Structure 1
């Protein structure tokens, strides 16, 4: 398809060139072509309007307003589009999704994105949550290898191109998916390049990306830009799943970024790239940076969960094919819910909601009070403790003595107040899924006491901290005033001081066991044995130990 478009476009360009040459010298120059892009990033399968803080956005007046939901995204996209519009995305459109989408391996969300006209998307790190072969299935079609076809029948594949210029098969040096694609709009050609954060191997399961290499984003983008230039494409857009942080409460069209990985990419990418549309950090901003030739380049991001649509307008010189950089304008629009929901999309979402309802509403346990991710001064959380206890219980038969849970894998709180008709304190399968949506596999490994100490010291890096949540059988003390690498002391296992030379059986999910979140000491472990899915372990623990009372945060001492 892409090659055919290129050939047709090249033929059109030749005809156009002949026509221009035949014009008299006094003829007026051809007008510039207007182009509009509408982009989304980090949708994460939020077909239904997200709730809580995830369901509000700061609007242009600085006011938090309800935002998001597929039916409202569809309405806003229609209102913002004109005849010269292309719709694109910047990754994490699936993965870490609510049950309505995740129960069917995000096929509903990918179908929705195709229905609203998305034509190209960078891959995000969450697109690799189930491994790259599953991502290829999502792109090209076929039924899931384990669960088979969804209620909708055989999956036909995404209607848009996933782009992954920096994800390379190590054995063949070929990209896993297309590195770039070309679209023609209003008589001009636009090249789209997609890259994902090069840190992906540290934040997804190692097994799912085995044999893949994640190149530097700029290096890969420049490689793709050279390919596009060789094909005569001079207008280029970089879709990058990486970005920057901004101050809390920032309005959608403010820049205000704290320069980081996203800014580096936006500034250093090939001068042929005209604009950089970003994601990953779930922030909203519209910036202008300078490219390596000192020319202006638009750099923007549109929040997350379908709460913001980024609109980028620009003109393309019809003779040269170049973007007129001075014409670029970005505008982030909040996906408010004060507009009519798109009826067709509403019906689509309700269909999938009905399909998953029986499973989602099934009670699996109960709690006596909120189980939250609110940290104590030491960084311990009640919900993190319960999950660690559940994971230890799931691997006891494999000899596990302690368990550790990464805090980033705990995605939402368990609230005592009923969310539906199930009653206060009742935990449904859907609620448990929302807490642990990644379908990581549990495992147990052997670590020495010295390695356990080394692992716990990796809770701090130069860029921040990630406090591992311990099972009740593990205690330790932290002192943040001490240098990084020497902050943990008084480690005990089952109440006894950890022996540096002794071997301990440690349970964790396969994300951590693969060295995720920078806990590379896990990769030095031996005797790995795998067990159930983490969600299954959590559900089984809830069922067998309810009602659960929030534990006191006494497993980690100090501050």
Structure 2
């Protein structure tokens, strides 16, 4: 039996048929992403040095600032209303005082206003422990730092974006501590953002804050969730990975080929269906290719953003091409976003009085982090001396400070007076000081741990207090680089059998930064003195004594023999 269509029905069927054909032959769909990483609560713009592939000339400018970032996003969203903003971790933590003094709540509020959809966790998201990270995600005022939480505003509603951590498991249940992924839709295409943090996170955060968590292999964790995502009809996968590397090519070199570092091994082991990896952690800028995949990073502090374009086949849900550009966030390039400008001004006004309080007069205008050939810094000298002074009531004789805890140079105004805001930028973690006993042999072993298990200087030379000195030779065998007889305290050789009282921040005290000897310390005294308070107190006492602290150059406590 034949079926006959009326002329009107036949015409309608033809239109539908043509429409279907048009859809199938309409070509690839472009998906626009913007990525940032390692924002570290930098609400204000800051100094940025870079060299562009275009003119190959070094530049130093004030870049970033949440208002500048918002202006750029506002302009780019006029080009594509479905643009997606994502992150690769460390968006808060180790933040300047204007954010840190309020438990980073203003920064999370600013990221909410930017329309951030998802970010991997970074190691600094764990700075205040797992419970504080959950509070930052979900909201509320119950916090391990009650002096800061819900002080900016009486209520805190949490992050509107999702923190992702595919490779972080609760060891008690074996289940993910946070979601592994978030699925978004743009231009009718589903995109899965899968988050992971470096598997070595436990060695660079406070051990007590992550008790009960396991940090697994990044690539294995990401690959493991792909079948679940495919079952949901997702074919486009973007990895947000807080792990990084470095390239010898400029930040804006398209498809750079010289990427080195831990990120490379992770990317090479990802499933072939993953074509884009947004990275972080190493605070550098690149748009590289690894095994044909696009791997990006956008420096740190909001100095630049990565603009990523995916060309997707809507039928197969396959990424046909991926490209990226790193754009420096220069103030005034885009029309102002009035909402964000008003928000930033409100944070400034709320914070101004506390940050402007004078602390002390310095001996120099800037005490910096530039390293000597031996790895010593003028700022490291100053902070170690302040730490020692704070620990002397508990018998401290030697202080050590990790370079990673020194986040900014200590600056002073034209009158050489440094403020609360400037001192807090140096030590934004709010660590407390711990005094312990180590033998001379343990201290010698500690110094040898500065070169890591493979013999490389992986995590920097420990900064030491006045009166402690030693010499090292990088040409000597692993475990023997500190020269015999060179380790001295107040001129006397260190005695391997003798006990010494040592003071460090609580991060190092738990073996952080791959210094496990600190965890062996006995007769511990938790002083409950914050490192920032110790620094401010030391600076004030030196100023009042007519001998302002600080130097433009390292003191020469550590010597390198070559």
TM-score scaled to structure 2, two decimals? 0.88
Work out which of the residue numbers 456, 464, 477 in structure 2 matches 1:463: 456
Q: Distance in 1 between matches of 2:490 and 2:182?
A: 57
Give per-residue Cα distances to partners, 1:147-196, cap 9 Å, x unaligned. 24133231101010010111111111122211111111211211110001
Question: How do 1:377-388 and structure 2 match up within 5 A?
Answer: 377-388=373-384
Pairing 1:36–2:32 present:
yes
Q: Once the 2 structures are TM-superposed, how far is the Cα of residue 265 of structure 1 from its aligned partner?
A: 1.8
Work out the CA distance in 2 between the residues paired with 1:335 and 1:274: 26
Distance in 2 (alpha carbons) for counterparts of 1:313 and 1:199: 31
Q: Is the CA contact 1:371–1:382 (under 8 Å) kept in the aligned structure 2? A: yes
* Alignment partners' CA distance in 1, 2:408 and 2:426: 5
**SS of match in other structure, 1:237:** strand
2:428 maps to 1:426: no
Shift of 1:256: 4.2
How does 1:481-500 map onto structure 2 within 5 Å?
481-488=475-482, 489=484, 490-500=486-496
Contact 1:44 1:96 in 2 (8 A): yes
Query: Are residue 473 (structure 1) and residue 467 (structure 2) matched?
Result: yes
Matched-pair contact (CA < 8 Å) for 2:250–2:286: no
Cα 1:35/1:248, change in 2 over 3 Å: closer
Name the counterpart of 1:354: 349
Tell me if the contact between 1:62 and 1:250 (Cα under 8 Å) persists in the aligned partners: no
Deviations 1:211-238 (A, max 9, x none): 2111111011111223212323211110
8 Å CA contact 2:97, 2:424 repeated in 1: yes
Q: Deviations over 1:412-455 (max 9, x none)?
A: 22235x1xxxx421111111111111111211122111111000
TM-aligned CA deviation for residue 142 of structure 1:
0.6
How far apart in 1 are the matches of 2:428 and 2:76?
33
Match of 2:106 among 105, 108, 127: 108
| SS of equivalent residue, structure 1 residue 50 | strand
Separation (CA, whole Å) in 2 of partners of 1:69 and 1:24: 50
Cα distance in 1 for partners of 2:332, 2:257 equals: 28
Equivalence for 1:332: 326
Tell me how far apart the structure 2 counterparts of residues 265 and 379 of structure 1 sit (CA, whole Å).
30
Matched, 1:302 2:298: yes
Distance 1:377 1:329 in 2: 40
The TM-score normalised by the length of structure 1 is 0.89
Write the distance in 2 (CA, Å) between the matches of 1:25 and 1:380.
70
Deviation at 1:322, TM superposition (A): 2.4
Offset from partner CA, 1:257-276 (integer Å, 9 cap, x none): 33221122222112232311
> Conserved in 2, the CA contact under 8 Å of 1:192 and 1:236?
yes
Query: Is residue 530 of structure 1 aligned with residue 526 of structure 2?
Result: yes
Return the alpha-carbon distance in structure 2 between the equivalents of residues 26 and 351 of structure 1. Answer: 52
Question: Contact conserved, 1:30 with 1:318, CA < 8 A, in 2?
Answer: no
Alpha carbons of structure 1 residues 363 and 57: separation in structure 2 relative to 1, 3 Å = farther
1:115, distance to aligned residue in structure 2 (A): 0.7
CA spacing shift, 1:283–1:375, aligned 2, 3 Å: closer
- Aligned residue in 1 for 2:239: 238
CA distance 1:225–1:412, shift in 2 (3 Å): same
Alignment coverage as a number of residue pairs: 525
Aligned counterparts of 1:25 and 1:334: Cα–Cα separation in 2: 42
**CA 1:61–1:379 in structure 2 vs 1: closer, same or farther (change >3 Å)?**
same
Deviation at 1:519, TM superposition (A): 1.2
Alignment match, 1:94: 92
Mapped contact 1:119–1:159 kept (Cα < 8 A): yes
Change in CA separation of 1:387 and 1:59 when aligned onto 2, cut-off 3 Å: same
Equivalent position SS for 1:80: helix
Question: Where does residue 259 of structure 1 map in the other structure?
Answer: 260
- Whole-Å separation in 1 of the counterparts to 2:251 and 2:316: 38
User: For residues 29-71 of structure 1, what are the alpha-carbon distances to aligned partners after superposition, in whole Å with 9 as ceiling and x for unaligned?
Assistant: 25333211111111111111113x46x6747444425421111
- Take 1:330 and 1:433, find their aligned partners in 2: how far apart are those partners? 36
Inter-partner Cα distance in structure 1 for 2:43 and 2:519: 37
Task: Give the distance between the partners of 2:53 and 2:560, measured in 1 at CA.
Answer: 40
Aligned to 1:513: 509
SS at match of 2:230: helix
Moved more, 143-152 or 110-119: 143-152
Where in structure 2 are the equivalents of 1:417-456 lying within 5 Å? 418=413, 423-456=414-447
Distance 1:408 1:30, change over 3 A: same
RMSD: 2.2
8 Å CA contact 1:87–1:118 kept in 2: the answer is yes
Q: 1:6 matched to which residue of 2?
A: none
Q: 1:446 to 1:409 in 2, by over 3 A?
A: same
Partner of 2:200: 199
Flag the 1:545–1:234 CA change in 2: closer, same or farther, 3 A. same
Residue 512 of structure 1: CA displacement? 1.3
Contact 1:244 1:257 in 2 (8 A): no
Rounded to whole Å, the distance in 2 between the matches of 1:341 and 1:538 is 38
CA distance in structure 2 between the partners assigned to 1:151 and 1:410 by the alignment = 25
Gaps of 5+ in 2: 1-12
Q: Aligned to 1:312, what secondary structure does the other structure show?
A: strand
* Matching of residue 539 in structure 1 with residue 536 in structure 2: yes
Contact 1:57 1:67 (C-alpha < 8 Å) held by counterparts: no
Contact 2:249–2:258 (CA under 8 A) maintained in structure 1 = no
Distance 2:236 2:375 in 1: 48
Contact 1:190 1:234 in 2 (8 A): yes
5+ residue gaps, structure 1, are 1-18, 291-295
Question: Are residues 351 and 518 of structure 1, via their aligned partners in 2, closer, same or farther at CA, if it must alter by over 3 Å?
Answer: same
Aligned with 2:225: secondary structure?
A: helix
